[in-house]
Amino acid sequence: MIIQEPKRSWREALLVYRQPRVLGMILLGFSAGLPFLLVFSTLSAWLTDAGFSRTLIGYFSWVGITYSVKVFWAPVIDRLPLPLLTRLLGKRRGWMLLAQIGIGLGLAGMAVSNIQTDATQLAFFALFVAFASATQDITVDAYRIEAVEKDLQGAMAATYVFGYRIALLVAGAGAFYLAEFSSWPVAYLCMAALMLVGVATTLVIKEPKVVDTAASRRLETRVENLLGIRNPRRNLAARFAAWFSDAVVSPFVDFFSRNGRFALIILALIGLYKVSDITMGVMANPFYLDLGFSKTQIADVTKIFGFFMTIAGAALGGSLVVRYGIMRPLLLGAVMVAMTNLLFALLAVAVPDIRLLMLVISADNLSGGLAASVFIAYLSSLTNTAYTATQYALFSSMMTLPAKLLGGFSGVIVDGYGYPWFFIYASASGIPAILLVIYLIRNWADKVAAVDESGEH
């Protein structure tokens, strides 16, 4: 295995968190995370209070599919300028502002809907919020990648995770408190008002400067020729065909042409990297309850104490990327996530002890936060800034699908073999990702070094 010398000192690695654009990602992360629970578990709680059936509540969860298919309209965001907004704010900030205003209006619409007499209207506004939120995710991800050089992506990811986690607390526990002391409509109106945080941030930050490279233009021309598009300005159909070729087909051709025979290995790693983490998470809360811990103990340790450990892990991961580059911290994150799952196997056979639970949760959240920020940095490094939104939307959609499919079998393993063997299985499911990272480090090191030196995405 090729070992590289540290790129920066620890002091330099930690000082990156003082940079304005890195700090700004806290606010953008907050804006991205705020609407997520408001169309998922928080909305489910509101519907439950209103007396809706479990079947209807389940139907409402379908609005979340929007987040999984955002790759389909990411090419539009990459290429379509917005009248006035693009001219005044730029491509990324223009779409970001439009999405944030849409989220705020959608949440206000949910708040003023009569949930008892017109559930359809509430569902429409929830779907609108989810669509605008997924659109904001696309633009924030693209901004984060384009705003700074590659070795700062870990730090940008860490501050994004920090802001996102704060937003989850606000949209979860915060909305519950507001609903308890006032009402659900008031809670949702307050959440709509909090979207002003994102709006203000978008107006203050600077648009990233991205130069359309000659290489991407040559690629698009070559793809158009291969598809038989000879005169793209001939008529409306030809113009649309050329746009589709440039915005949708070229990003995929670019990825495979840049990565060659490693492209499928990279895609496999994207799909497998979070398998161990997500598989374990499916059974986490049932496991804590089955051990005999109270709901209050679980909330204190996993939600509050675990929150700070996740943030610490994310910050450490960002610093490691600055100091050592991406690949070695990526391997460290994969190993740590797999190994900490074995601690849950130990917890399963030990006498229930709140101190042991705190130790295991600390290790799990620290490793999870580290792996998350490093993995986001890795996905960011794979994109070409000519197609940032489209390529990253593809990667982010892929990274949870295999894990969720395997996670569906978690209950079967617990029922058949018990918790200790389940956590051993969850740990073992991380081995393929570890092996793939090692393979890329050993066989792709020269290319990684070349990309690091050139500063390309």
- Summarised one tens digit per residue, pLDDT across range 13-27 is 677 788 888 899 999
Q: Among 333, 340, 197, 231, which residue's Cα sits nearest to residue 281?
A: 340
pLDDT of residue 3: 40
- The arithmetic mean of pLDDT across residues 419-445, rounded, is 89
Does the pLDDT at position 450 exceed 50? no
pLDDT, residue 286, reads 76
**Residue 236 burial by CB count (10 A; 0-12/13-18/19+): exposed, middle or buried?**
exposed
Q: Tell me: pLDDT of 424 over 50.
A: yes
Q: State the SS3 of 208-221.
A: CCCCCCHHHHHHHH
More confident of the two residues 80 and 238? 80
Are the beta carbons of 161 and 26 closer than 8 angstroms? Answer: no
CA distance 456 to 454: 5
Greater confidence (108 vs 153) lies with 108
What distance in Å separates the CA atoms of residue 136 and residue 156, rounded to the nearest whole number? 17
Within 10 angstroms of residue 202's Cβ, the number of other Cβ atoms is 28
Q: How confident is the model at residue 199 (pLDDT cuts 50, 70, 90)?
A: very high
Take residue 50 and report the two structure tokens written for it. Answer: 């209103």
Check whether 389 has a pLDDT greater than 90.
Answer: no
Q: What is the predicted pLDDT for the residue at 2?
A: 38
Q: Residue 447: what pLDDT?
A: 54
- At 403, the pLDDT band (50, 70, 90 cuts) reads low
- Look at residue 246 and tell me whether its pLDDT is greater than 90: no
Token pair of 423 as six digits: 């956590």
Q: Residue 204 has what pLDDT?
A: 95
Classify domain 10-207 at the CATH superfamily level. Answer: MFS general substrate transporter like domains (1.20.1250.20)
Phi-psi region of 229 (alpha: psi -120 to 50; beta: other; left: phi over 0): beta
Of 209, 217, 228, 214, the residue nearest 250 (C-alpha): 217
36-40, 216-220, 323-327: segment of lowest average pLDDT? 216-220
**Which fold is adopted by the domain 249-457?**
Growth Hormone; Chain: A; (1.20.1250)
Residue 203 has pLDDT above 60, yes or no: yes
Which two tokens mark 204? 């203050």
435 pLDDT higher than 90: yes
Amino acid at 134: A
CATH 1.20.1250.20 spans which residues of the chain? Answer: 10-207, 249-457
Q: Give the CA distances from residue 42 to residues 9, 26, 135, 136, 297, in Å, rounded to whole numbers and listed in that order.
A: 43, 22, 21, 20, 21
pLDDT digits (tens, 9 = 90+) for 294-319: 767 777 777 777 888 888 998 898 88
Over residues 373-389, the mean pLDDT reads 88
pLDDT at 187 over 90: yes
Rounded Cα distance, 384 and 378, in Å: 13
Asked if residue 333 has pLDDT above 50, the reply is yes
pLDDT of residue 211: 67
Average pLDDT, the chain: 85
**Predicted local distance difference test score (pLDDT) of residue 205:** 94
Give yes or no for residue 108 having a pLDDT over 90: yes
Residue 455 CA to residue 25 CA, distance in Å, equals: 21
